[in-house]
Structure 1
Amino acid sequence: MKSDLTLNTLHLGVLTAELCRPDGKEHAAYILFGLSRIGKDPFDGEPRLRLMVKEVLPVEETEIKSSDHQHISWSTKRFVELLARANRDGLQLGIAHSHPHGPDHFSSQDDRNEAELARLAQNRNGEDAMLPSLLFADGELAAARVWKSPNEVINIDRVRTAGSRWRTIFFGAAQDAESPALARQELALGAGFNRMMRHMRIGVVGAGGTGSPLLQQFARMGAGQIAIFDPDHVEHSNLNRLYGATWDDAERKIRKVDVARREIERMGLGTRVETYDAWIGSPECRDALKSMDVIFGCTDDHDGRLLLNRLAYYYLIPVVDVGLALRVTTRFGISCLEADGRVTVLEPGSSCLVCRRVVDAGVAAEEALRRSNPEEYERRKSEAYVRGEGSPSPAVIPFTTSVATMAVEELIQRLNQFRGEDGAIANRVRKFNLVEDFRPGAKKEPCRICGSERIHGLGDVQPFLGRAG
């Protein structure tokens, strides 16, 4: 089994400050983790365990028995108390400690001490209890692992940060993506950016107007793994904005995900593609969604947006939601096109789509009913209890491509900071007809999704994401 870890930049900052103090002594902290159990990784088919940092609790000076630059010893009384809390809240309790001047790997003494703590955790919380452990050395996060039992350890191969800066810390060899196709990109953004793109797992929900240009750009930027989710097939009305789609695809009702895969594989740039022709709420999509490092939401489905909205906070997987609204209006007797593009980043610390008034819970419920009980939906529609499908929305390829590029720009900013350290934008709306960008706010009182730290990084719960039905 492979394992990786996600934490937000705030928690990484707290851990670094607490464990890497200028006194040169070893320090320690407790960490509460959420778990994401992935039965089958979409790209290698193996099980994967993901951990999410929920809370950092430094070991207090009064708990420390002795400490110097080579060792630390502290009372485990609080560890036992926190085990009870972890068990009650469906979490795992772990530890972190420092080697101020190295080594940058766990010592034999660390092995003995942590094996005993893992034994204590399982004696108290049962055989499913684990002991995650992080090591900081020379001021940096240097190693991480998970004790599945006192005799079984899984090394964590990489750590991902969420927040205004998305970093990936690799433990072990992570080769640079050397390719002539990426040489010009390296000149602009650096070899480190290419390496992150090669190892990143990018999910794209919706392979239509905005998803199609996103996929084209990600593959040409050297993305190593892409998962595409879309249950629809190509229609003739898609051909004005769906990259790579042909008249023959529409005639044969080829799936949008198959067109996307075909076009990416034709590039020959080494991107691995997995496709899912199902609605993202379907159980067969869960492992894949939970395996992503970032997800781009390119769907007009309100219920799908609500699902991704929750996923971002439960699993600390940033979701970049992309929207485009085109309206034809009349001013002074002249027909005018108004075009608004929006890119919203969902993650702890940012307001969600509900608080930004992007999604409509009533429409989402109607969409869910249409999927689960089409006959009842049609009955209610005939009696005017639910809204009909309405007229098709206008769509023009320059605008769908432009708003997709806005989303790619935000990815580059979070990985590269090309706008500067404070250049991340959580919510941007472009008024194309005004040639201006705006940053609309959100409700003053956050909802129980984005405003409740209780669910941030909680991971697996029943039902999935706490959604009924």
Structure 2
Amino acid sequence: MHIKISEKMHHELKNHLHCGDGLEAIAFALCGRHSFQGKEFLLVHKILPISYDRCIREEDRVSWKTIDLEPFLEEAAEKNLGIVKFHSHFVQDSEFSKLDDNSDTSVFDTIYSWINENKPHASVVMYPNGSMKGRIITPNLNFKSVDKITVVGETVKSYSYNSQFQIANSFIRNAQTFGEKTINQLNSMKVGVIGCSGTGSPLIEQLYRLGVGHLVLVDSDHVGVENLNRIISSKKSDATNKRLKVDVIKDHIQSVDIGTRITSYPYLLQESRQVVDDLASCDFVFGCMDSLEGRHYLNLISTNYLIPLTDIGVKLMADGKGGVNSIVGNIHYVYAGSETLLERGVYTSNQLAEESLKRISPEEHENRQVYFNNAVVDSPAVISVNTLCSSLAVNDMLGRIHPYRFQDNNKYSKTVVNLTDWDINSYSVSETKEKMHYQNIGIGNIESNFNLYVTEKNI
């Protein structure tokens, strides 16, 4: 099991569980769920701190009344959500105690009686430094260790209890720069890349050579002669044979053979339930596509499933005389609760509606052209510019899991590269003001906010 929580909710929990008085405290979380290929996810959606005056608090135990939990239990039962119990431990890295065993057996017996569902819940202890350790409580009230707990925000912190792997010779130089802990973390990570051409191809090349353990590649297009100037490893024969981009890149990575597992999907993100489910199980996703629809769906997945997202956009404006007026790249880091790509002006609602209609119903789109303007058009694509922006995006991801920059990560939520001015600037962003995104943080597979369409058919 993998438990995920937003940085803001983690901060709220830490303030409640470790208030400085040396007495244990307790809180509960209502969690969205996700399940993929046998792996379970609990995604923190809401926090319920149990008020200090409603508890009996001591240095090594805390007790409370179940009645205070009943509104949460009713909502969990109605929506098939999960429950995580959080309480404080003051000795760093201490194990669950016998008192904890008795408490968890009692409270989760009650929880399972309320929620007529055999999906697991969990119990987590939080230490003074904010780190956590968890265990699954099964329907028969047995205990099993949680594999990983991740805090997702400007910085991505993971607490994993799997054994470390032996660093291969291929990655020793990487370890010298970022340390063995980071290389171990990369090896355990599953990273999704949507769009495998312009910025996607050099980005993928960097990810597997850094030692990312599992890559999920999504692109519905075939290699064309126009792609040969920017897809690493592509050949003229690939264009002649109209090979899928994901197949060309997958074959290339497997031929290098340094351990990265590859899953590939020759589909549009917005048309495949399987793609959405697989991406929802990732630790990090990169958007490397022109599609505004794809960007929109990725932002929804990031919010619903607590997945950090980096969106990369490159625009070269030709002057019509064989030169360029501007070369600009944008790298946006997005996480649940941050400003959305829509709020940041990456696209407008009108542009999104036009692109969606054009895909789903081309005839209707043609009839309604009068209502649309400022359509997105293709711009020139150059490997040197694409590689620069993808490299910045990869190094930003490394900075999220292994903070190495002089300033806090919140200073780098948006990076703008203007090559015509030879200038790089980074900016902070605010919290989202979109009510729908805010309300759906960690909601998981209760996806009230998007549907998938193939042509005219809702799937």
TM-score scaled by length of structure 1: 0.88
Partner of 1:267: 256
Cα distance in 1, alignment partners of residues 226 and 184 from structure 2: 38
- Are 1:329 and 2:329 counterparts? no
Q: Say which SS state the counterpart of residue 115 (structure 1) adopts.
A: helix
Partner of 1:248: 237
Tell me the CA shift for residue 190 of structure 1: 1.0
Tell me the CA shift for residue 284 of structure 1: 2.1
Partner of 1:121: 111
Cα distance in 1, alignment partners of residues 420 and 452 from structure 2: 39
CA contact 1:357–1:442 (8 Å) conserved in 2: no
Q: Say which SS state the counterpart of residue 269 (structure 2) adopts.
A: coil
Structure-2 change in CA distance of 1:216 and 1:177 (3 Å): farther
Residues 66-77 of structure 1 aligned to structure 2 (within 5 Å)? 67-77=57-67
Structure 1 range deviating more: 154-163 or 203-212: 154-163
Cα distance in 2, alignment partners of residues 355 and 180 from structure 1: 44
1:447 to 431, 434, 455: 434
1:293-351 deviation line (CA, Å, top 9, x unaligned): 11000010111111001111111101100000010127xx8943411101001113421
- Are 1:97 and 2:83 counterparts? no
2:204 to 205, 215, 239: 215
Q: How many residues align?
A: 452
Structure-2 change in CA distance of 1:102 and 1:328 (3 Å): closer
**What percent of counterpart residues are identical?**
26
Cα distance in 2, alignment partners of residues 427 and 82 from structure 1: 37
Tell me the CA shift for residue 448 of structure 1: 2.8
2:347 to 353, 359, 375: 359
CA contact 2:413–2:429 (8 Å) conserved in 1: no
Q: Say which SS state the counterpart of residue 245 (structure 1) adopts.
A: coil
CA contact 1:356–1:443 (8 Å) conserved in 2: no
Q: Say which SS state the counterpart of residue 417 (structure 2) adopts.
A: strand
Tell me the CA shift for residue 208 of structure 1: 0.5
Cα distance in 2, alignment partners of residues 49 and 35 from structure 1: 7
Structure-2 change in CA distance of 1:363 and 1:210 (3 Å): same
Structure-2 change in CA distance of 1:389 and 1:26 (3 Å): closer
Tell me the CA shift for residue 437 of structure 1: 2.1
Q: What amino acid sits opposite 2:347 in the alignment?
A: V
Residues 270-281 of structure 1 aligned to structure 2 (within 5 Å)? 270-281=259-270
Partner of 1:43: none
Q: What amino acid sits opposite 1:456 in the alignment?
A: I
Structure 1 range deviating more: 122-131 or 225-234: 122-131
Cα distance in 1, alignment partners of residues 128 and 323 from structure 2: 64
Partner of 2:42: 51
CA contact 2:414–2:429 (8 Å) conserved in 1: no
Structure-2 change in CA distance of 1:113 and 1:194 (3 Å): same
Q: Say which SS state the counterpart of residue 96 (structure 2) adopts.
A: coil
Q: Say which SS state the counterpart of residue 167 (structure 1) adopts.
A: strand
Tell me the CA shift for residue 138 of structure 1: 6.0
Cα distance in 1, alignment partners of residues 314 and 389 from structure 2: 7
Tell me the CA shift for residue 275 of structure 1: 0.2
1:265-314 deviation line (CA, Å, top 9, x unaligned): 12221000100001112112122111101100001011111100111111
1:167-186 deviation line (CA, Å, top 9, x unaligned): 2111242x145122222221
Cα distance in 1, alignment partners of residues 197 and 317 from structure 2: 19
CA contact 2:27–2:47 (8 Å) conserved in 1: yes
Structure-2 change in CA distance of 1:464 and 1:225 (3 Å): farther
Partner of 1:8: 6
CA contact 1:351–1:446 (8 Å) conserved in 2: yes
Cα distance in 2, alignment partners of residues 262 and 169 from structure 1: 33
Q: Say which SS state the counterpart of residue 353 (structure 2) adopts.
A: helix
Residues 382-393 of structure 1 aligned to structure 2 (within 5 Å)? 392-393=378-379
Cα distance in 2, alignment partners of residues 155 and 237 from structure 1: 50
- Are 1:350 and 2:335 counterparts? no
Cα distance in 2, alignment partners of residues 265 and 399 from structure 1: 26
Structure-2 change in CA distance of 1:70 and 1:273 (3 Å): same
CA contact 1:20–1:139 (8 Å) conserved in 2: no
Could you tell me which runs of 5 or more consecutive residues in structure 1 were left unpaired when the two chains were aligned. 41-46
- Are 1:459 and 2:444 counterparts? yes
Cα distance in 1, alignment partners of residues 426 and 91 from structure 2: 45
Q: Say which SS state the counterpart of residue 149 (structure 1) adopts.
A: coil
Residues 155-170 of structure 1 aligned to structure 2 (within 5 Å)? 155-170=145-160
Residues 19-418 of structure 1 aligned to structure 2 (within 5 Å)? 19-38=17-36, 40=37, 47-65=38-56, 67-87=57-77, 91-101=81-91, 104-128=94-118, 130-137=120-127, 139-173=129-163, 175-281=164-270, 282-329=272-319, 335-374=323-362, 376-377=364-365, 380=367, 392-418=378-404
Structure-2 change in CA distance of 1:439 and 1:152 (3 Å): same
Structure 1 range deviating more: 279-288 or 385-394: 385-394
CA contact 1:31–1:53 (8 Å) conserved in 2: yes
TM-score scaled by length of structure 2: 0.90
Q: Say which SS state the counterpart of residue 91 (structure 2) adopts.
A: coil
CA contact 1:355–1:442 (8 Å) conserved in 2: no
1:223-250 deviation line (CA, Å, top 9, x unaligned): 1110000000100000011111000000
Structure-2 change in CA distance of 1:132 and 1:269 (3 Å): same
Cα distance in 2, alignment partners of residues 465 and 318 from structure 1: 19
Tell me the CA shift for residue 416 of structure 1: 1.6
Structure 1 range deviating more: 184-193 or 86-95: 86-95
Cα distance in 1, alignment partners of residues 155 and 174 from structure 2: 20
Cα distance in 2, alignment partners of residues 117 and 411 from structure 1: 39
Cα distance in 1, alignment partners of residues 55 and 105 from structure 2: 20
Q: What amino acid sits opposite 1:407 in the alignment?
A: A
Structure-2 change in CA distance of 1:341 and 1:107 (3 Å): same
Could you tell me which runs of 5 or more consecutive residues in structure 2 were left unpaired when the two chains were aligned. none
1:153-198 deviation line (CA, Å, top 9, x unaligned): 453101112112112111242x145122222221211111111110
Cα distance in 2, alignment partners of residues 444 and 110 from structure 1: 36
CA contact 1:177–1:194 (8 Å) conserved in 2: no
